[in-house]
Structures are given as C-alpha cells and as structure tokens.
Structure 1
Amino acid sequence: MKKTILISIMLLQCVLLSAQDKVQIRVTASSPAASFEQEVGSAKIKVAYSRPLVRGRKIFGELVPFDKLWRTGASDCTVLTTFEDISFGNTILKAGSYSMFSIPSINEWTIIVNTDTTLHGETGYDEKKDVMRFKIPTEKSPYFYETFTIELNDINSKGEAFLKILWENTTVKIPIKSKEDDALLALIDQHVIKGKTQDAALLFQAANYYYSTNRDNKLAITWLLEAEKLNPQNFYYPNLRQKIASELKEYTNAIEAAKKALALAEKEKMKSAIETLKKRIADWEILIKK
C-alpha cells in the first residue's frame, strides 16, 4: 500500500514538472484588434481597426504629430465598409470597403477615405487613390479615453448618426446618413402628398413616419383623419392620432381621438390599451378644466 502511494506521488510530481515546462507568459497586445457592425437606417456599416493605448504618453501633438498623415489607429490601416451608398461627412460614399486616414491638427482634422485597404499603417499610401477628403472640427471630450476608440453612435430615426473617433481628451464626430430617409420622403411626396392616395394603410404609414421623425405633425393628423374615413374600424389610426394631438397639446382633439380608439379597443378586448386610454382621457379632462 505504501509503495502504491509513493508511486502515485512520484507520478503527480512528474505531471506537475511537465506542466511547468509548458508554461508561457504572453504579453498582451499593445494595440488590440477590434471590429463592429452597426445598422444606421437602411445602411449596414462595419469598421475594423486596432486600438492603441495612451500608456502615460502625450498623444496628439507628440506621439501622433499634428499636420501629418496618420493611420487613425495602429497596425494595419483602419477599414470602413458600407453595404450601401451613404452620406459620409456630407459627401456620398459609394458602397464598398475603404481605408480611413486622417491628418490631425489642433482645432480640426482632415478625414481621408482611400480605396486601398491592404496597407500596413501609412506605408504605401497613395493620395491618388483617395475618394474624398474633408475637414471636421475637434471637440474636447469630458472623459479621458485611455484606449483609442471608434464608435457609431447618436443614431436617430431619420437614419442619421455620428462616426466618433475618441482618444485621450479629443473627439472627432463625422456625420453619417443612410439613403432610407430621402427614399421614404420621396415615396410620401409621390403617393401621399401629390398622389392623394386612397390607401388607408399608406396614409397611416406616412403619418407614423412623420411622427417618428418629428416632422409636420399637423399634416400627419390630416392623413390619419383620411385613413379613419377609409377604414373606421382600425384601432391604430385614432390611437396614433391621440398621441400626436397630445404632443401638440391639442387636448380636446386628443380626447376625441382617444375615445374613438377606446371604443375600438373595447370591441377587440384590448385590455392594456383600454387602461392606458382611460387614464389619458381622465388626465386630459383635468388639464382642460384648469
């Protein structure tokens, strides 16, 4: 028995020694790779880049000199891919993949979009392959960014957003817009405004888009009234109308629309909608009496 235990201990020691021989200490990447994909309206946009760290250094004006071409990141060039034509910095950027460079200055950056996505840093950069250059003012960030960051943020219902470049205390915001908003407005103009459609669903969709993108809400209400005439049994038409009228502070009209929506909700036994509408009507009636 003792002999068996001794052999087991010896075998365990051999395993531990063998494991120690294989130990490796890896250094964390100084500029870790990153990528993200984001929808903006109808557009899908992807960015792949490397993220250098500050590590106690002065970045802009020293590590990244002012008024000189910069890879806008580290390692290989930063690559931006858009799967449809978009407005990028207020200029149309065709669908495709591009490298993104910059020339930082104290108060503004020159943003450069180039067709060559195979570059390592600035090596081999050819200005003839640029598809656009434009200037963007810098902003001082209230936060300190230790890690170089590119993000797509501040997305709104019109398909607008900002591609933000953030490092140290510097922020650069590049405006982006998908083509969806212009396309939808063109459809509304063609079929609803000029075409005077008699399609209730299309009138509702146009009103809902105007409402969600904070456009002409009074015009949206006229479209909803037309939709209600064409299809008086649809709950969603007066329900949207009461929301818009409320935001316009037209509480008498909001109550009328809400009562119409309530009757349809009760008919369809829509419990949650019934409770919400009853409360809104009561609240608005109090406001009117004041």
Structure 2
Amino acid sequence: MKKIIFTSFLLIQTLLINAQEKVQIRTTSASPASTFDQEVGSAKIKIAYSRPLVRGRKIFGELVPFDKLWRTGASDCTVITTSEDIYFGNSILKSGSYSIFSIPSVGEWTIIINTDITLHGETGYDEKKDVMRFKVPTEKSPYFYETFTIELNDINSKGEAFLKIFWENTMVKIPIKSKEDDMLLALIDQHIVKGKTQDANLLFQAANYYYSTNRDFKQAIKWLLDAEKLNPQNFHYPNLRQKIASENKDYASAIEAAKRAVSLADKEKMKKTIETLNNKIASWELLLKK
C-alpha cells in the first residue's frame, strides 16, 4: 500500500514539474508592429512601422531629442511603399519602397525619404541615399496619443490626402496626391477642350468628373447639354444635369433637366426613380415661388 502511495506521489510531482517547465510568461511588445494599405486616387500606398508607447515619459525633447535624426517610430525603420509615382510633400516620389526618417524640432520637423529600407533604427543611415528632404510645421494633436500612430486620411475625390504622424500631443501632416487627377485633366484637355470630341459618353464622363471633384459646374452642364444633343435618349445625361443644377441652386434649370430625365425614365419603367425626381421637382417649384 505504501509503495502505491509513494509511486502516485512521484507521478504527481513529475507531472507538476513538467507542467512548470512548459509554462511561459511572455511580455507584450514594447513597440507593436503595424502595417496598413490605403488607396489614394489610383495609387496603392502601404505603411509598415512599429508603434512605441509613451508609458509616462516625456517624448519630444527628451526621449526623442530635438534636432537629431529619428527613425520615426521604433525597431526597424518605418517604410512607405507606393505602387505608382505620387506627390509627396511638394515633390514627386517615384513608385517603390522607402524609409521615412525625421528630425523633430521645436515648431517643425524635417521629413526625410531614404532608399535604404533595411535599417534598424538610425544605425547605418546614409544621407547620400536620401531622395528628398522637406520641412513641415508641427501642430497640437486633437487628443493625447499614448501610442505612436501613422494614418493616411482626409482623402478626397481628387486623390489628395494627408499622411499624419501623431505621438504624445504632437501631430505633423504631410500632403500626398495621386497623379491620376493630372492625367484625367490632361485627357479632358486633349480630347474635349482642344479635340472638340463628338463622343457623348466622353463628354458625360468629363462632366461627371468635374461634378465629383467640385470643379466648374457651368462647364460640366455645357458638356452634358452637348452630350444630350448627340444622344437625346440617354437618361443619365439630364439626370446628372439636374443634380449639378440643384447643387448650384439653379432650380429652374434643375426642374427642366429633371423633367427631361423623367420622360426618359418613363420609357424604361423606372418607377422609383420617377417618384424621386417628381418629389424633387415639386420641392424646387416651391422654392421658386418663395
């Protein structure tokens, strides 16, 4: 009996020792890695970086000294990748991958774009591999950022955005823009402004682009009227025209265009669309009576 108890005791002790050997208490990363992708216009942009924490420390001017090179993050260097050429700051950044370094100062930062993406921290940094340097002013962040944060936001229909860097109470903003807007405007100039195209759909596309990017509404309406002359049976042309005219508060023109769109929608049995347009017409007619 004693032998059985002793054997059981040894077995339990062995299991406990084995269990203890397998237990591991791992601390979380002091600077968690982060990666995100964002479309800006036709460009696909990727940011890979590490995110250090404040942890009760004074950041800028102490942990991150002023007027000295900084990796703009932690661990390996922060990397930006763009699928095509973009405007970055006020210069063209060619497609490819680059490291982002910075020199924080009181009131402004120097932003540095470098071709070496293999660096850990600032060690091995070579200024000769810089492709651009420029200054951006600092701003007070909308709230306290415990975690170092990079965002790509404030994106608009022209393919413009801001790369924003936040930490502690500091924010810097770097303007970014896709070259897509330039290319589309060049096509409009080539085929419509100079080429005097007779392609109704191309005129519609140009008008729609002007509308979506909040450009010259009068010019957009002129192109739509030209498109309607070339293809009078297309519902989309007067329908876009009523949208633009109403936003421009030209309710008389909006009513005329909407009635034209209703007549074309009726042929296609677009009941819901007809109801919506008739409601708009009624509201605009009331506005004109005031």
Looking at structure 2, the residues matched to 224 and 13 of structure 1 have their Cα atoms a distance apart, in angstroms, of: 86
1:138 equivalent to 2:141? Answer: no
Looking at structure 2, the residues matched to 248 and 15 of structure 1 have their Cα atoms a distance apart, in angstroms, of: 79
Distance apart, 1:194 and its partner CA = 1.0
CA RMSD of aligned residues (A): 1.8
Looking at structure 2, the residues matched to 152 and 57 of structure 1 have their Cα atoms a distance apart, in angstroms, of: 26
Distance apart, 1:30 and its partner CA = 0.2
Equivalent position of 2:120 in the other structure: 120
- Can you list the C-alpha shifts for 1:222-265, whole angstroms capped at 9, x where unaligned? 00001111111111100000000001111000000000111111
1:253 equivalent to 2:264? Answer: no
Looking at structure 2, the residues matched to 225 and 171 of structure 1 have their Cα atoms a distance apart, in angstroms, of: 47
- Can you list the C-alpha shifts for 1:171-226, whole angstroms capped at 9, x where unaligned? 11000001100000000001111111100000000000000001000000000001
* Change beyond 3 A, Cα 1:187–1:11: farther
Equivalent position of 1:209 in the other structure: 209
- Can you list the C-alpha shifts for 1:43-79, whole angstroms capped at 9, x where unaligned? 1111100000000111011100110000000000111
Query: 2:129 corresponds to which letter in structure 1?
Result: K
SS in structure 2 of the partner of residue 264 of structure 1: helix
SS in structure 1 of the partner of residue 63 of structure 2: coil
Looking at structure 1, the residues matched to 255 and 15 of structure 2 have their Cα atoms a distance apart, in angstroms, of: 80
Distance apart, 1:13 and its partner CA = 9.7
Distance apart, 1:14 and its partner CA = 7.6
Query: 2:165 corresponds to which letter in structure 1?
Result: I
Distance apart, 1:21 and its partner CA = 3.7
In the comparison of the two structures, how many residue pairs are matched? 283
Looking at structure 1, the residues matched to 171 and 269 of structure 2 have their Cα atoms a distance apart, in angstroms, of: 52
User: In the TM superposition, what are the counterparts of 1:124-273 in structure 2 within 5 Å?
Assistant: 124-273=124-273
Distance apart, 1:11 and its partner CA = 9.0
* Change beyond 3 A, Cα 1:19–1:215: same
Question: Which segments of structure 1 move beyond 3 Å, counting only runs of 4 or more?
Answer: 10-21
Looking at structure 2, the residues matched to 233 and 14 of structure 1 have their Cα atoms a distance apart, in angstroms, of: 87
Distance apart, 1:24 and its partner CA = 1.1
SS in structure 1 of the partner of residue 283 of structure 2: helix
SS in structure 2 of the partner of residue 269 of structure 1: coil
SS in structure 1 of the partner of residue 211 of structure 2: helix
Looking at structure 2, the residues matched to 186 and 12 of structure 1 have their Cα atoms a distance apart, in angstroms, of: 80
Equivalent position of 2:7 in the other structure: none
Looking at structure 1, the residues matched to 178 and 27 of structure 2 have their Cα atoms a distance apart, in angstroms, of: 41
Looking at structure 2, the residues matched to 133 and 115 of structure 1 have their Cα atoms a distance apart, in angstroms, of: 12
SS in structure 1 of the partner of residue 92 of structure 2: strand
User: In the TM superposition, what are the counterparts of 1:19-168 in structure 2 within 5 Å?
Assistant: 19-168=19-168
TM-score, structure 2 length as denominator? 0.94
Looking at structure 1, the residues matched to 146 and 201 of structure 2 have their Cα atoms a distance apart, in angstroms, of: 51
Segments of 5+ residues of structure 2 without an aligned counterpart are 1-9
Distance apart, 1:152 and its partner CA = 0.5
* Sequence identity percentage: 81
Looking at structure 1, the residues matched to 288 and 187 of structure 2 have their Cα atoms a distance apart, in angstroms, of: 38
Query: 1:51 corresponds to which letter in structure 2?
Result: R
Looking at structure 1, the residues matched to 29 and 62 of structure 2 have their Cα atoms a distance apart, in angstroms, of: 22
Query: 2:289 corresponds to which letter in structure 1?
Result: K
Looking at structure 1, the residues matched to 57 and 274 of structure 2 have their Cα atoms a distance apart, in angstroms, of: 61
Looking at structure 2, the residues matched to 230 and 79 of structure 1 have their Cα atoms a distance apart, in angstroms, of: 50
SS in structure 1 of the partner of residue 157 of structure 2: coil
1:274 equivalent to 2:268? Answer: no
Segments of 5+ residues of structure 1 without an aligned counterpart are 1-9
